[in-house]
Amino acid sequence: MLLYRGLDAEAQQSLSDFARFLEANQRTTKPELPSEPLTIPRPEKESVVGALKRLRQTYPMLDTGRTLLDQASSLMTQHLVHGRAALEVIDELEGLFVEHYERWGEIRRNERRS
């Protein structure tokens, strides 16, 4: 704030314009994600791939980066290659997403405390 006051009127206006630009850019590039999982019921008959799609929609706040996708891929392989039952794999996928969601919530709570 002290630096701002030391600027001439034209520089203050430029700085204000730039701040508004940054604020608008942040709003358009970072949509607000829900903090709670969406309610998407599990169908009676669902494929493992369908379950993975449903869970990604249910938990849009999660970064399905390397860790989560590696774990999900491992479960998918167990089903497709090793013949593990789809229901078991889907149950485990759901647990995996819940676990990642809980970790995500913990990280958010810690960030708010900081």
Among candidate residues 84, 105, 102, the one with its CA nearest the CA of residue 94: 102
At 40-95, the pLDDT tens digits run 999 999 999 999 999 999 999 998 788 888 999 999 999 988 999 999 999 999 99
Contact predicate 88/109, CB 8 Å = no
At 7-24, the pLDDT tens digits run 778 767 766 766 676 666
pTM exceeding 0.85: no
Contact predicate 61/33, CB 8 Å = yes
What is the pLDDT averaged over residues 83-108? 94
Q: Which residue has the tokens 């701040």?
A: 19
